[in-house]
């Protein structure tokens, strides 16, 4: 009888664990090397690992960035979107209008690439006013930098993506360009056009910012519960 009680307790314990396990769907974008076209990559590995430690599984799907954000915000089938830089204006817990941010599961070192024969150098944001800086249209870079760009204080050259931004620096259309260091290193190997000019370029030693990488969970009770479980497993 005692043995039966032990076995029964073990069975009900296992049943409870199985019943509490959940499968969640998250959106993401293609952003090598953090997220590859098939959804794999360092960020995906970190996110899936955290969900597994929390006793759940995560299914991810790659979309264009704006669609990834909209699905995670408005479609209940998707619990969140990653990888995101923190933005107070999006943080529903700080009066923002979009989502609940997780703790950071990784970092993104953002700075400037420049031509090796260019004397581009900076120690404060005011120094950047003297240069034309390449940016990717729609990207969040760094709060003070973005504010100065919006005010017209820093001259910019816009590009559609990071590869085009790099090529504009190599072609002397920009003095420097904002980019994540790991993204630049990846493109210098994986993109033929970038690889052809990579030896003319260098990543500036001074970072603009090192962003944390976050999951932005839907702003609901369910999203909050999953976010809290995710955070506890990091």
Pairing of strands 57-62, 133-136: unpaired
Helices 181-190 and 162-170 pack at an angle, to 10 degrees, of 80
- Listed residue (47, 40, 18, 106) closest to 230, CA to CA: 47
Q: Do 120 and 102 fall within a single domain?
A: no
Judged against a pLDDT cut of 70, whether residue 21 lies above it is answered with no
> What pLDDT, in 10s, does the model give residues 148-187?
999 999 999 999 999 999 999 999 999 999 999 999 999 9
Q: Do 92 and 7 fall within a single domain?
A: yes
Q: Do 100 and 195 fall within a single domain?
A: no
Judged against a pLDDT cut of 60, whether residue 100 lies above it is answered with yes
Q: Do 26 and 116 fall within a single domain?
A: no
Q: Do 179 and 63 fall within a single domain?
A: no
Pairing of strands 80-84, 156-159: unpaired
Domain that holds residue 181: 109-209
Residue 177's CB: how many other CB atoms inside 10 A? 28
Sorted by sequence, the CB contacts under 8 Å of residue 198 that are 6+ apart come out as 188
- Give the model's pLDDT for residue 138: 86
Judged against a pLDDT cut of 70, whether residue 89 lies above it is answered with yes
Q: Output the domain CATH number for residue 169.
A: 3.40.190.10
Sorted by sequence, the CB contacts under 8 Å of residue 201 that are 6+ apart come out as 113, 114, 115, 116, 166, 169, 170, 184, 188
pLDDT > 90: percent of the chain: 88
Q: The tokens of 192 are what? A: 């033929």
- Give the model's pLDDT for residue 97: 85
- Listed residue (100, 28, 103, 13) closest to 58, CA to CA: 28
Q: Do 59 and 154 fall within a single domain?
A: no
Q: Do 9 and 94 fall within a single domain?
A: yes
| 101-124 average pLDDT score | 97
Q: Do 132 and 148 fall within a single domain?
A: yes
Which one-letter DSSP state was computed for residue 214?
Answer: E
- Give the model's pLDDT for residue 17: 36
Region class of 178: left (phi > 0), else alpha (psi between -120 and 50), else beta? beta
Compute CA 184 distance to the chain's CA centroid, rounded to the nearest angstrom. Answer: 15
Q: Do 23 and 90 fall within a single domain?
A: yes
Judged against a pLDDT cut of 80, whether residue 92 lies above it is answered with yes
Residue 184's CB: how many other CB atoms inside 10 A? 23
> What pLDDT, in 10s, does the model give residues 219-229?
999 999 999 99
The number of distinct structural domains making up the chain is 2
Q: Do 15 and 99 fall within a single domain?
A: yes
């Amino acid at each position: 009888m005692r043995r039966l009680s032990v076995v029964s307790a073990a069975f009900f314990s296992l049943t409870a664990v199985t019943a509490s396990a959940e499968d969640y769907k998250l959106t993401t974008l293609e952003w090598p090397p953090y997220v590859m076209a098939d959804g794999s990559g360092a960020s995906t590995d970190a996110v899936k690992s955290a969900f597994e430690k929390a006793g759940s599984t995560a299914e991810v799907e790659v979309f264009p960035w704006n669609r990834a954000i909209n699905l995670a915000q408005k479609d209940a089938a998707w619990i969140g979107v990653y990888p995101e830089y923190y933005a107070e204006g999006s943080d529903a817990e700080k009066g923002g209008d979009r989502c609940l941010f997780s703790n950071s599961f990784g970092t993104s070192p953002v700075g400037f690439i420049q031509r090796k024969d260019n004397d581009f150098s900076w120690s404060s944001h005011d120094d950047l006013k003297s240069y034309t800086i390449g940016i990717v249209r729609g990207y969040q870079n760094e709060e003070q930098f973005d504010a100065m760009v919006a005010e017209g204080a820093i001259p910019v050259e816009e590009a559609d993506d990071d590869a085009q931004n790099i090529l504009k620096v190599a072609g002397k259309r920009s003095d420097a360009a904002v980019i994540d260091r790991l993204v630049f290193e990846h493109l210098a190997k994986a993109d033929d056009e970038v690889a052809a000019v990579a030896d003319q370029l260098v990543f500036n030693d001074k970072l603009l910012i090192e962003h944390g990488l976050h999951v932005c969970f839907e702003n609901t009770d369910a999203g909050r519960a999953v976010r809290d479980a995710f955070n506890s497993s990091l």
